[in-house]
Chains A and B, each alone.
Chain A
Amino acid sequence: MKKTFLLIPLLLGASLARAQAPAAAPPAAPPAAPVAITDADVKNVEAPKPDVRLKGDPDGALTGTVSDIAVGDAKKGLTIADMANQIGQNKIAINFTWTLIAGFLVMFMQAGFAIVETGLCRAKNANHTMMMNFMVYGTGLLAYWLIGFAIQMGGVGGVGNLGGAPPLNTEFTISLFGKTLGMFGQHGLFLTQGGTYDVAVMVVFLFQMVFMDTALTIVTGSAAERWKFAAFLVSSFVLGAFTYPLFANWAWGGGWLATLGTNFGLGKGYCDFAGSGVVHAVGGLTALALAIIVGPRLGKYNRNGKPNAIIGHDIVLVLTGCFILAFGWFGFNPGSTLGASGNGNLRIGSIAVNTMLAGMAGGFSAMFYMWMRYGKPDASMSGNGLLAGLVAITAPSGFVNTVGAVCIGLIAGVLVCLSVEFVDRVMKVDDPVGAISVHGTNGLWGVISVGLFADGKSNYGGSWNGVTGSVTGLFYGDASQLVAQLIGVSTLIGVVFVMSFVFNLAIDAVVGQRVSAKAEMDGLDLPEMGQLGYPEFELKARPAGASVA
């Protein structure tokens, strides 16, 4: 009897174990003989009759049929070649549409940057700050169209997801250490030179242009409330025409950083999926160079060097802007696949989830850091934490899993708080919106994090930067990828910062970067723009009897 009781659970366990084990595979059926499809077969496919279509198509079953396939030769009728061409064009059309819509989302981020920066500045500079963010779009666009795009992408050598873009095929190279190193592209001036009047080139241009403009608009934040408008225009033009495109070429345009893998065996070369380094660190380091040159706002530091907080005028604008930016980031990162169809591009879902997770992880960690350190969950730093998480995940978004994304975001949120304190108190550099810390520090962190957290599971067509396999970081077994990333960081700090610093020193000598002390005290709206951002608000804020015009 006792033995029977012991046997029952054993049998139950065994049957449960059988239930959870995978079912034995049925014997494989013999492979079906391939069926040859001929032109005659496709001719027999019936299209809906016109009189049926005249009655409408409420369930959509009759719209989009064989009759919508373009026929190459009317005499032959529909052929398999026509169908194959249609499939190819559908793939490229999906990728064009995806990339363009993602680009439109990134363009809308300009509005987010504009109101974040304006909200973090004082009301007396609202018009000036908004105008900088507004005109940086056009200034950057013209600079990029004239020469920047050619420098960046003129030698990329084809963009498979967008049908090739073959005219972008001429890169200026040098030979060093026995290797060929790409320096800058040479096709694409005015989007006509070198055969670049091409539909795929136009899509590449639009998408890359809005990325470039994001870098430019970062700079307006660090120099806000004391930057001369004329100097801003010149500085932005130079950044959009030369500094940004040069580094972007090295990373994305087939330049020497991208080929660190093929030339020197360093992982898959410098990997920056959507631009933590190319966009944000370039913008953030230029912001640092400019903030050093223009100097702090009047009243920011006491004579003993102790910093004073200069509070922005509208936290509602700031957090609304952060939401707009978080929305636009769904174009920034998933759009950087440059396609939704083919070459592993279905990973766009993973990239989008990584983006939202890292962003909010950054928001949380910044909020809790400020709460623990200062006793309140600071709103503007929570917003900056969100942006820091988004900036940091931009480079690794295509290469990491969700756990990695959350770790990267959590670190970014704390890092932005520490960096703001360091820049403000130790370096004594005045950055009204935290652009240096959000974009510079966390842009560099994002680049490094690829070399740590890339899990080797992404597969975009079997290779990256010409090296077979998936991008794999130190935590998943490839230390050389981290070295490639650090060389990118060193290039950003040692070359991009220096270029931006020298260019802006020259502009300071010729145009003058900083407004007069009187203009700064009055607010830049009237002296620089001739119009107040909030005339009625300003009237109430001024002492009785003071004139506003």
Chain B
Amino acid sequence: MVLLGILVTFLGFLISFLSLGMTSSASGRLVMVLIGLAVSLTGIIGVINRAFIKNANWRK
């Protein structure tokens, strides 16, 4: 799960970065960057952090 979270978080950056080469319109790039940000935040909050919470010390 943690590895998946790392990959998803990095994937978000790649989506934003690729906007530079895929379109030259500011609004097109803006949409892609926002999608990238959403993906990265999902990776951190929804995947990585959730994996750690599952084994948190306060659950034991």
Contact A490 B21, beta carbon cutoff 8 Å: no
- Determine the residue in chain B with the shortest Cβ distance to A428: B53
Q: A498 contacts which chain B residues (CB < 8 A)?
A: 6, 9-10, 13
Interface string of B34-60 (1 = CB under 8 A from A): 101100110011001100110011110
Q: A264 contacts which chain B residues (CB < 8 A)?
A: 20, 24
Give the segment of A100-108, A186-194, A209-217, A293-301 that binds chain B.
A293-301
- Determine the residue in chain A with the shortest Cβ distance to B2: A505
Q: Among B21, B33, B49, B59, point to the contact of A486 (Cβ < 8 A).
A: B33
Interface string of B1-20 (1 = CB under 8 A from A): 01000100111111011011
Q: Among B16, B27, B44, B52, point to the contact of A490 (Cβ < 8 A).
A: B16
Given contacts A177-B21, A296-B58, A490-B16, A483 and B33 within 8 Å (CB-CB)? yes
Report if A477 contacts B (CB, 8 A). no
Report if A494 contacts B (CB, 8 A). yes
The bracket for how many chain A residues form the interface is 35 or more
- Determine the residue in chain A with the shortest Cβ distance to B48: A292
Q: Among A177, A296, A302, A497, point to the contact of B20 (Cβ < 8 A).
A: A177
- Determine the residue in chain B with the shortest Cβ distance to A479: B26
Contact A296 B57, beta carbon cutoff 8 Å: yes
Contact A295 B56, beta carbon cutoff 8 Å: yes
Q: How far is it, in angstroms, between the C-alpha of A501 and the C-alpha of B5 when the chains are bound?
A: 11
Dominant secondary structure at the B interface:
helix
Q: B6 contacts which chain A residues (CB < 8 A)?
A: 498, 501-502
Q: How far is it, in angstroms, between the C-alpha of A495 and the C-alpha of B10 when the chains are bound?
A: 6
Report if A110 contacts B (CB, 8 A). no
Q: How far is it, in angstroms, between the C-alpha of A293 and the C-alpha of B37 when the chains are bound?
A: 22
Q: B20 contacts which chain A residues (CB < 8 A)?
A: 177, 260, 264, 487
Contact B9 A490, beta carbon cutoff 8 Å: no
Report if A493 contacts B (CB, 8 A). yes
Interface string of A119-155 (1 = CB under 8 A from B): 0000000000000000000000000000000000000
Shortest Cβ distance from B60 into chain A, in angstroms? 9
Contact A495 B13, beta carbon cutoff 8 Å: yes
Report if A22 contacts B (CB, 8 A). no
Q: How far is it, in angstroms, between the C-alpha of A482 and the C-alpha of B27 when the chains are bound?
A: 10
- Determine the residue in chain A with the shortest Cβ distance to B16: A490
Q: B17 contacts which chain A residues (CB < 8 A)?
A: 487, 490-491
Shortest Cβ distance from A532 into chain B, in angstroms? 25
Report if A49 contacts B (CB, 8 A). no
Shortest Cβ distance from A319 into chain B, in angstroms? 31
Given contacts A176-B21, A498-B10, A483 and B26 within 8 Å (CB-CB)? yes
Q: Among A288, A489, A505, point to the contact of B44 (Cβ < 8 A).
A: A288
Q: Among A266, A300, A303, point to the contact of B59 (Cβ < 8 A).
A: A303
Q: How far is it, in angstroms, between the C-alpha of A301 and the C-alpha of B56 when the chains are bound?
A: 10
Contact B49 A429, beta carbon cutoff 8 Å: yes
Q: A497 contacts which chain B residues (CB < 8 A)?
A: 9, 40, 44
Q: B9 contacts which chain A residues (CB < 8 A)?
A: 493-494, 497-498
Shortest Cβ distance from A374 into chain B, in angstroms? 24
Contact B13 A494, beta carbon cutoff 8 Å: yes
Q: A161-204: which have CB < 8 Å to B?
A: 176-177
Shortest Cβ distance from A265 into chain B, in angstroms? 7
Contact B13 A303, beta carbon cutoff 8 Å: no
- Determine the residue in chain B with the shortest Cβ distance to A265: B24
Q: Among A298, A302, A494, point to the contact of B40 (Cβ < 8 A).
A: A494
Report if A545 contacts B (CB, 8 A). no
Contact B58 A490, beta carbon cutoff 8 Å: no
Q: Among B2, B27, B30, B37, point to the contact of A493 (Cβ < 8 A).
A: B37
Q: Among B12, B19, B26, point to the contact of A494 (Cβ < 8 A).
A: B12
Q: Can you list 30 A-B pairs, Cβ within 8 angstroms, ordered by A?
A: A176-B21, A177-B20, A177-B21, A260-B20, A264-B20, A264-B24, A292-B48, A292-B49, A292-B52, A296-B56, A296-B57, A296-B58, A301-B56, A303-B58, A428-B49, A480-B26, A483-B26, A483-B30, A486-B33, A487-B17, A490-B13, A490-B33, A493-B12, A493-B37, A493-B44, A494-B16, A494-B36, A494-B40, A498-B9, A498-B13
Interface contacts beyond A427-B49, A494-B11, A494-B14: sample of 9 additional A-B pairs, CB < 8 Å, sorted by A: A296-B57, A480-B26, A483-B29, A486-B34, A490-B13, A493-B37, A494-B12, A494-B13, A502-B6
B residues at A contact (CB < 8 Å): 2, 6, 9-14, 16-17, 19-21, 24, 26-27, 29-30, 33-34, 36-37, 40-41, 44-45, 48-49, 52-53, 56-59
6 closest Cβ pairs, A-B complex? A494-B13, A490-B16, A301-B58, A177-B21, A494-B40, A493-B40
